[in-house]
Structure 1
Amino acid sequence: MVLRSLRDNVQDEGFLETRDVSYRRSSDDHQLDTQSPCTFTAHVIAPQSLINVKHCAVNRPHTLSSYTNCQNVTHPPEYLTVYYQNVRGMRTKTQHFLLSLSSCDYDVIVLTETWLREDILNSELSTNYTIYRCDRNSSSSQLLRGGGVLIAIKNNLTGIAIKMHGFEHLEQTTVRVSLPNLSLYICCIYLRPNSDPDLYSSHASAVQQVLDIANSMDRVLVVGDYNLPHLRWTFDHDLKSYLPENATSEQEISIMETMVAGGLYQICSLSNMNGRTLDLAFVNNTDFVELFEAPTSILKVDPHHKPFVLRYEKHLNENMVFSETYDDLDFDFNRCDMDDISADIEAVNWQAMLGGNDLDHTVPLFYGTIYRILHSRVPKKRVRNKVDYKFPWWNARLGRMRNVLRKQRKHYYRYKTEDNKIVLRQFELQYETARNNAFRDYLNRIENSLRNNPSTFWTYVKSRKRSVGIPVNVFHKDVSANSASEAVNLFADYFRGVFNSSPVNPSQEYIDSLQSYSVNLPLLNISETEVMEALSSLDSTKGPGPDRLPPVFLKRCARSLAVPVNMIFNRSIIEHTFPSAWKVAAIVPIHKNGYIHNIENYRGISILNCLAKVLEKFVYDAMYSKASQIIADCQHGVSSETRKPFRSSETNCRKHPSSRFIQCNYTATTSGEHPSSRTPQPYDPGPNLIAAGGAQRALHSTHFHLTRKCIK
């Protein structure tokens, strides 16, 4: 009956719908240069926080690198919700906090008295929120226990930490939340009971800096535990806020003369079990915000501190139009007829099309023809990068319960009656019980499979140690990013900067000390059958490279693609040229360790085109069959488990514990030239080097001069 009345009465006002955008460098001075050896494309998961884009019907050209501008954009949701609570310690509540935030709908969560320490990672607290916190330290207090503040911003919003120097002695943190046409500055503070009046003055000075940064359209929220138990507040109808009526102590007078007199309005009047108001909320504008007691709490409620919710109205100009450039359509190969695609590919006269051009013109012609066929035969799907992390204990029943719970939450926020609060708490309790049971079952499964499948245990451990996604507000040295596009460009500049393009110039004495071997590598000739077998053996579960052709397409159309791909492979070997289009890689930043907002703590993973890796495999197999005969026993790390004898970096550590490193130098000679007629040159691992043991160097010659040096 409750569910039926809920469906009948709740109107769908629309919750925060978000979508992700993949940004790409687009300025004229940062265009991708396919001729450059260090060309790359950086794809960063960039949350588009407050823009709901209508699906636009567009006529896409026959290319997958084009982007479409959509101008028909809806306005963001009407409200932004901020939850506040003094949690009185959460060291032992991190798991409960993680579970609570897994289905939380608040946009911002502000907590005081967190009692956290540096050894508690942000990833242990939430994966759906970006955490900004200030733990108690020696600068803020001599007491190690207690204190601390935290601000959590939902991943679909863009938050930037505001660094204010000179206030390290305060347990305070400030974050700017970027909205479409304004910013919301949130400052959270915790002041111990009987704190020195100078701390209140310092806090007021920090707030004044925030007010100086904000413009007239921005919103400022200062919230926290001020621990002024004897101060009473009276509502002023003209100011629409509360004024102190009995300020007598130095701390109380400092608040009155600075915060209140400085243009901020105190809007919280919730009293605790003793009738005292300890937690205060100051805003710079009372017209677009309301404060009310939270119907349910995220963590256990302390009787001295009532949690409350602030709803900010997102005041927008009616004529404001939001636009964003993005590429949101991709080929849906699961809903196409591969036989029709193969027939269209076989109908093309590849010999006439690809026979009379050089390699760098042949490859674009091949891709252009394939793209035209795919556009006519393959339906499109809209790609949405999910902002929220999907938890491994999640199931369909929890999803249905959460949907009903969200409707009841909106119903309560609209009417705010006691009956709605009772019903909401019942739904919250039922959902919390089901969620905890699902999580407990998940942990039991991990424990039971620990002996037979320990990888599940380590997967769980890593998920609790690593944050999900890449934050927008990253920085490198003195440069910070304030938007998703700026973050992408900052990553691109950093990865470009760490690449060293200077050639290796060893001394002649070192070159003469290297021992030389002659290896005759016959000219590699790849047949169509070999290409078809190689394409048919691809792993169809892998994703595509920058050319957007996934292995599942190449595998299912291997017979028809064997002719043009074989022509490109053999021409590449004959012309001693690697296609420029295959030198482009998608660089994916992977967080290693340390502060997640520091770009220097990321390493780049190159996503290569699948066809380029197939060509590398052919060349590598041809090279290894010859070079393996002269590889010394002390050389490790050049063979895989499928090749005998198997020598990896692990076997090197066991056999040669004192070895520092082993260097193998390759030098190509021109076809028909005897290796001994040339001076050995060091092997230069340039930017275009294919990972398969120097296979790209093999494309330039049919003879190799190999030298090796074992360094102990």
Structure 2
Amino acid sequence: MKGGGVALLVREYITAVLRQDRLEGLSTESFWVELRNRKGMATLVGLYYRPPNSQRELEVQICREIAGNCRKHKVVVVGDFNFPYIDWVSHTVRGPDGLEFVKCVQENFLNQYIEGPTRGDAILDLLLGNELGQVTEVCVGEHFGSSDHNTISFNLIMDKDRSGPRVEVLNWKKAKFEEMRKDLKSVDWDRLFSGMDVIGRWEAFKVEIVRVQNLYVPVRIKGKVNRNKEPWFSRDIATLIKKKRELYDVYRKQGVNKVLEEYKKCKKILKKEIRRAKRRHEVALAVKVKDNPKSFYRYIKSKRIVRDKIGPLEDQSGRLCAEPKEMGEILNRFFASVFTKETGMKSMELRETSSEIMETVQIEKEEVLAVLRKIKVDKSPGPDRVFPRTLKETSVEIAGALAEIFKMSLSTGEVPEDWRVAHVVPLFK
């Protein structure tokens, strides 16, 4: 944020780069941000606040800045420009300010999308774009907080890449754990394991676990959840929001004081319900923090004002890079440059191996059950695709079968391959 009149909030999954090179040191609050989609295609978004009754020189500077960005880029400009004397239907000016701005809009083929008043009876807040179809579903809504300006909502089309891989994940919120337990309880493990060695028993056990896992846990497409919906958001709150918006629209059209009072009453009830919903959600997270710490820390992270994000990074030529592959190459080159190569190391002498034989280890069902109940369910599965959540939820039903497999493994010395491999993922810190 610059100055105090302009701010842009960008979600974590959107690549955004602040373009310092696009500023000319304007005396008004403004900045430009480059938004990129998965294909790397960029759209420049400019935000402006022009104080009322500003000097003509400031208007000329703003027009020069917008025109320069429109020459080579897809551009969207939004902000409070305070040009109440511009008629955006006929593109004419009825007052002292706005002549240069209208000329800039026409010469750069910019479309102005706001049709209704945004403060009183005047259109002070503007939304401009230099490509047809890049802005859709423009809506002038109610006031934002204590501001006397109306909110503006719209969709920005950035040629989103929809050809990427569809990643399927298990939806544990809709899992049928009781049916899963009943299914596994009916399995005769002794009969199933009859005549099998350790490898065969483990494979048979894994087949049964994966079968019930796929049968009773539905699948959803990753990324299809509503990112704009808060975890405490409920159907009752959605109904109140809809009712509040409808009352506001009726008041704007009719101007009846009775409708205005109903709108204020609905707005007050909505605020109270949101506070209650947030409180209930936070209490539930605190109660389940030991069983599901990932949800707790995800919620805490979402409330942080400053968030750590990788990039953009500067390469050797001074160019800012925001693409994941380019940033990975920059980090790799840096780590390689500071890597210390050890020289003159002496060879290690191996100690003599002990001839002592390990005594017989007894593994009981109760011990296995105790370990299964302590599994952290927020961890990812290994190559066997058996999720920790499944093991914990069905611990009573599978503890005996696992105990028998472990006993045979210790007595015969055989170890299934699934126990000897794991997924290793390097993490940036």
Q: TM-score, normalised by structure 1?
A: 0.42
Who is 1:213 aligned against?
73
- Unaligned 5+ segments in structure 2 are 284-295, 316-320
CA contact (8 A) 1:270 1:277 kept: yes
Who is 1:233 aligned against?
86
Among candidates 221, 244, 250, match of residue 93 of structure 2:
244
Query: What letter is aligned with 1:169?
Result: G
Deviation readout 1:101-155 (Å, 9 max, x if unpaired) = xxxxxxxxxxxxxxxxxxxxxxxxxxxxxxxxx233xxxxxxxxxx342122467
Who is 1:262 aligned against?
108
Who is 2:191 aligned against?
347
- Measure, in 2, the Cα distance between the counterparts of 1:521 and 1:148: 77
- Measure, in 2, the Cα distance between the counterparts of 1:307 and 1:382: 41
Who is 2:2 aligned against?
135
Shift, 1:552, TM fit: 0.7
Query: Is the aligned partner of 1:372 residue 2:214?
Result: no
Among candidates 230, 236, 244, match of residue 401 of structure 1:
236
Who is 1:565 aligned against?
406
Shift, 1:330, TM fit: 6.1
Who is 1:336 aligned against?
179
Query: What letter is aligned with 1:552?
Result: K
Q: TM-score, normalised by structure 2?
A: 0.64
Query: What letter is aligned with 2:371?
Result: S
Who is 2:31 aligned against?
172
- Measure, in 1, the Cα distance between the counterparts of 2:188 and 2:265: 60
Do the aligned partners of residues 348 and 191 (structure 1) sit closer, same or farther apart at CA in structure 2, a change above 3 Å counting? same
Shift, 1:561, TM fit: 1.2
CA contact (8 A) 1:289 1:313 kept: yes
CA contact (8 A) 1:546 1:585 kept: no
**Relative contact order, higher structure (CA 8 A, sep 6+):** 1
Name the one with the larger helix percent: 2
- Measure, in 2, the Cα distance between the counterparts of 1:437 and 1:527: 54
- Measure, in 1, the Cα distance between the counterparts of 2:122 and 2:150: 14
- Measure, in 2, the Cα distance between the counterparts of 1:418 and 1:205: 41
Query: What letter is aligned with 1:328?
Result: V
- Give 1:699-710 correspondences, 5 Å limit: none
SS of the residue 1:328 aligns to: strand
Who is 2:274 aligned against?
435
CA contact (8 A) 1:186 1:221 kept: yes
Among candidates 151, 154, 168, match of residue 8 of structure 2:
151
Query: What letter is aligned with 1:334?
Result: F
Shift, 1:380, TM fit: 2.4
Query: What letter is aligned with 1:255?
Result: F
Query: What letter is aligned with 2:111?
Result: Y
CA contact (8 A) 1:528 1:562 kept: no
Query: Is the aligned partner of 1:300 residue 2:142?
Result: no
Do the aligned partners of residues 338 and 265 (structure 1) sit closer, same or farther apart at CA in structure 2, a change above 3 Å counting? closer
Do the aligned partners of residues 474 and 539 (structure 1) sit closer, same or farther apart at CA in structure 2, a change above 3 Å counting? farther
Deviation readout 1:21-58 (Å, 9 max, x if unpaired) = xxxxxxxxxxxxxxxxxxxxxxxxxxxxxxxxxxxxxx
Give the root-mean-square deviation of aligned CA atoms.
5.6
Query: What letter is aligned with 2:105?
Result: M
Shift, 1:282, TM fit: 2.1
Deviation readout 1:59-117 (Å, 9 max, x if unpaired) = xxxxxxxxxxxxxxxxxxxxxxxxxxxxxxxxxxxxxxxxxxxxxxxxxxxxxxxxxxx
- Unaligned 5+ segments in structure 1 are 1-133, 137-146, 215-219, 355-361, 446-457, 590-601, 604-712
CA contact (8 A) 2:368 2:402 kept: no
Deviation readout 1:488-544 (Å, 9 max, x if unpaired) = x978997999799999666449x89xxx99996944466352586145333346214
- Measure, in 1, the Cα distance between the counterparts of 2:357 and 2:306: 48
- Measure, in 2, the Cα distance between the counterparts of 1:160 and 1:168: 20
Among candidates 143, 147, 152, match of residue 309 of structure 1:
152
Who is 2:79 aligned against?
224
Among candidates 533, 536, 539, match of residue 367 of structure 2:
533
